[in-house]
Every structure is written in C-alpha cells, then in structure tokens.
Structure 1
C-alpha cells in the first residue's frame, strides 16, 4: 500500500555563490533527512571557486546542478531553481546552513494533514552568530501561524528555510529580482495575502551568520527595505505604528551604512507616525554620536524591542 506521504514530492533549492567550503555541510544535511521523496536543485550563481567540483564529488542522482554565467543574486538563483523544479512543494536551503534530520519529514507531515489554504510550513531554527545561539522566532512575535499578513508587515520572522506549495508562486509570482536582500520577507508578504502559514515550534535547522552573510549587509538591507516599503506602501500605511516601525528600520540601516542624513530623515518619519514611542526619539538623538556607541544602543534597542 502506497503511503500518501510518498506522493508529496519536494524540490529542494540551494542557491549558492562561492560557498565551496560550506555547501557540503548543507547538502549532507539534506541527504541525511528521514524524508527521502525529494530532488535537490543546486543553482550556482556565477561562482568563481571550485563549487562545481564539490557538487560533482557527490555523484548523487538526486542532485541537479545549474549554473548562472554571471552573478545575478539570490532571488534570481531561487527563481531558476523554481523554474526547473518538478515537485508540487518547494523547499529552500541556504548553502551555509544546516537542516536537522527530521526537518523535512515533520514539515511534510503538516502538509499531509493541512488544507489547501496552507501555503507555507516553517519551523523554528537556531541562529548562530559570534558563538551565540538564539531561537527564532522569538516570543515577541505574537502570531506565528494562520493569517499572519499583519504580523509580517512588522518584519520577517519566517525562516527562508521553509516549505512552500508551488501553487503559491503561480498565484503571487516568483521572488523579486530587484531586491538585493530581504527577498524572503517580500515574498512572504505577498503569499500571506492569500494563504495561511503553519508553524512547528521547535528548532529544525541551524542558520549560521558568517562574515559574508547577506543579513549583515547594511547597504543591501537599506536598498531592499526602501523598495519593499514603496512596493507595499498601501499595506504598511493601513497602520501608522507598523509604518513607523519600518521607517525606523530603514533609518537604522541608513546610519549603519554611513548615511546619517538619510537615517535622520527616516527616523523623523517614524516619530511623526508614532510620536509617543520614546525609542524612536532615542534612536534619532543617538544618531548624532559615534557609530561604535550607536551599535551598543542598538543591541539594547533590539533586546527590549516589541513591535
């Protein structure tokens, strides 16, 4: 008798760029999964290292390897993977991260029982930076599943290592290739307008924040945040507090990117939309001091922060 789960074929997409030294760990963590009904699609986004040789060493029929002739960004690489995918479910793995052995099985178990309204299943994960281990999403996120569109407008808490029904992409489109970063968040904002999310509250993957991680590229985060704010302004503008949060975030990225003038402009916008939030006033005032002290304040700000 065929197990229904065997019918749920998953295409696992790994975009990579010059990560030959890390991608073996990422792929091995997939090959070690208890759930085995999948294909792996590695999209090499114009690497100049020996990524191709590393992939060929696996000699694994489940792995399909595609190459961009030049670097086009993570969003484009993910879109190439979706284009070549055969599964009705799309999972994403970053080339510097690791899945725990039961991740995919537990997520597909949810899809097996879920209605078609569930478009995304995601789980908690360990975020490791500077030898510090943090569980994401934090308790500050008050609504983690169901209709989470409003919650997502405050900021992204859904791991990029999620599983998405392929039909979601047919409904809302692919990743926005104009975004140099934060493409996961922008996609989830679109998906959450039409589909519900399910959350597994346990760490099923490990995300490593390395020196070349996109998440710490302030320039890319600044540009992407501005694009997303403009693209979804109508949604943000429905709630002035949420609009203020996003204005403040852009102000922070601008300061960390060395643009104090732009930073203060956005922080003043945040104050205008939510003048009773003392943290925005403090961010504005602290922006006049040296960057090293600003970073200390930010650590406190994000520790105490509640959207």
Structure 2
C-alpha cells in the first residue's frame, strides 16, 4: 500500500491582495514581496473581475515564488469585502498581511511585523506607518500612527487611524468575527478594527514599512467623501456594542440609497450621549454636506452639549 503523501505545512504568513484592473502597478507590488527579508510566506491574490492584463501579470510572477506559495483566485466582482473574504476562506496561515495591488512593502516589513506579533500575543492586529507615493512611485509625504495600543483604541473611537494595506492580523480572530462586512465597503477596514477591539488589542509599528500610493480613483479621493459617512455608521455600530445596545441595522440598500439620511435618522434615534461632542459635530457636518435636513439634529446636538455644560461645543453645534 502506497504511503500517503504528506502535505507541506502552511506558511506562517499569507499576503492577501485583492486586485481589479491593476495591470499598471501589480508587477511592482509583487516585486516588493520578492524582496522581503522574511521568507516563510505565501501570496493569495484575488483577481476580482479584472478586464485588463492583471491575471496574466499575476501568472507570470507566480513562477518567481516557491512552488505552492502563490495562489490566484477568481473574485466575485462584488466589492472589496467579498474579494477579501474569498481569499480568507482558503488561507491556512495563522497570520495574514494585507497589501493592495498598487502599494509596495518595504523589504523588512513582514520580518518586523512577525516579530512584534510574536512578542505581543494579545495583539490581534498590527499596522505600520506609511510613505505616501504618487502615481509615478515618487515619495511625496508620510503618514504616522498612534504610538501605543491604548492610544490606538482611543483614536479609533474618533476616526480610522490605521492604513489598510499595512495591517497584519491573526486569521482566527478575524474569522471568528465573520470576516469583512460587505455593506461597510469603503470603510470595511475601520469596521473590522472596531470589532477586533472587542477581541483583543491592536498595535502599530512606528516605522514606515509600506509605500501607499495616492491616485484619483481610490475610495478616499472621491467627491464628497461618502466613505466618511459609512465610517460614521461603523462607529455608531461600535458605540452601540460598547454599551450593550443592539447594533443599528444598516443594510446595503440603506447605504446605497441615502447615506446622509440614514446616518441622521440613527443619530436622532440615539442622541449623542455615548459619542464625544467633537465626533458628533463632525458627523453632523458630513450629513449637512449630503444635503439631508439638519434642523432637529442641530437642536439636539446643542441641547446635549448645553446640558453637559460643554458650552464651546454647544456653540459650535449652532454653526453646523
């Protein structure tokens, strides 16, 4: 009887890359992974309904990685969360590193993140700082992270302060939460971070280990910044969970049809008792930009701050 062939153990890290029409940048992204000092990793690339040469470029680079360490999956073409969940479903590595198909990992990135995750077993996720590059790959800026897990937690209850293409997370923790939630696309990373805070700590390396490319087509560059209102909804959900309240039921239809109106209705329902005055006022300003009516909401914001004797924020509420 022939002996059963033993399967190779899963690598310690899998790099998860969603790619849609990324032919112009994907080669440079994959080259940055070939230059990593840490070698016990695999690449899982989700070709999410590309119509350019993304697939061909990925297949070409697959031959440059060790056998069995480069996998190409067909994505459903239904948004980034569904693409990421497609990749997560096949990954067996205990650690997952995110990277976008137009960003670059510095050579020490995986090595540094693996080391810090091993030293901090209570960390469920680790981000890094970034160098900002333009479409031509030239460094034009840099972006920092909060300095400690305590500060990160505090900042996350104000806004998203980590950069999605930099993160490394524990696969089991993210799967236990159900992965990414598609109706928060545009702020799917922020929603994930807020849910992970209920599972353990989140940390960051204060090193610029990823080159983050700015270009006109990305979500955060779109006119009116609708992603910020989706992020506001993710924050409201987190605040509700924090206070053992039922999470608001934001559906994909709700967010697609009228983001501003949905957010306004939820804030009016809940009031501002659990949200910091500054964050609540910024939410109201974003609702105003969406052309939703604000008279009642402004009054509520003023009253809540006045009752708390927070007269500075009460005054600002009148100016929204």
The bucket for the TM-score relative to the shorter chain is 0.7 to 0.9
- Deviation at 1:83? 0.6
Residues 212-271 of structure 1, C-alpha deviations (whole Å, 9 max, x = no match): 111223464155235314422425779858444443443444455xx2335777666655
Match of 1:64 in 2: 71
1:134 counterpart residue number = 142
CA-to-aligned-CA distance 1:177-217 (integer Å, 9 cap, x gap): 11121111111111111211232111111111210111223
Structure 2 gaps of 5+ residues are 1-8, 245-271
Query: Which residue does the alignment assign to 1:299?
Result: none
**d(CA) in 2 for partners of 1:44, 1:118:** 30
The alignment status of 1:78 with 2:80, answered yes or no, reads: no
Question: Which of 234, 240, 254 in structure 1 is aligned with 2:240?
Answer: 234
**Given the alignment, which residue of 147, 151, 154 partners 2:155?**
151
**What are the residue-to-residue correspondences of 1:249-264 with 2, within 5 Å?**
249-254=282-287, 259-262=290-293
What TM-score, normalized by structure 1, do the two folds share?
Answer: 0.76
Q: What TM-score comes out, normalization by structure 2 length? A: 0.73
CA change 1:244–1:67 in 2 (3 A) is: farther
The more displaced of 72-81 and 169-178 is 169-178
Alignment of 1:165-180 (within 5 A): 165-180=170-185
Matched ranges for 1:1-307 at <5 A:
9-60=12-63, 61=67, 62-69=69-76, 71-115=77-121, 117-128=122-133, 132-137=140-145, 141=146, 144-146=148-150, 148-160=152-164, 161-217=166-222, 218=224, 220-234=226-240, 240=273, 242-254=275-287, 259-262=290-293, 271-274=302-305, 276=310, 285=319
Judge which range, 243-252 or 276-285, deviates more.
276-285
The secondary structure found in structure 1 opposite 2:149 is coil
For these two proteins, the number of residue pairs brought into alignment is 273
In 1, the alpha carbon distance for the partners of 2:132 and 2:242 equals 27
C-alpha contact (below 8 Å) 2:10/2:92 kept by paired residues: no
CA distance in 2, matches of 1:230, 1:114: 29
Matched residue SS, 1:47: coil
- RMSD (Å), alpha carbons: 3.2
User: Kindly tell me: are residues 200 and 264 of structure 1, through their superposed partners in 2, closer, same or farther at Cα, counting changes over 3 Å?
Assistant: farther
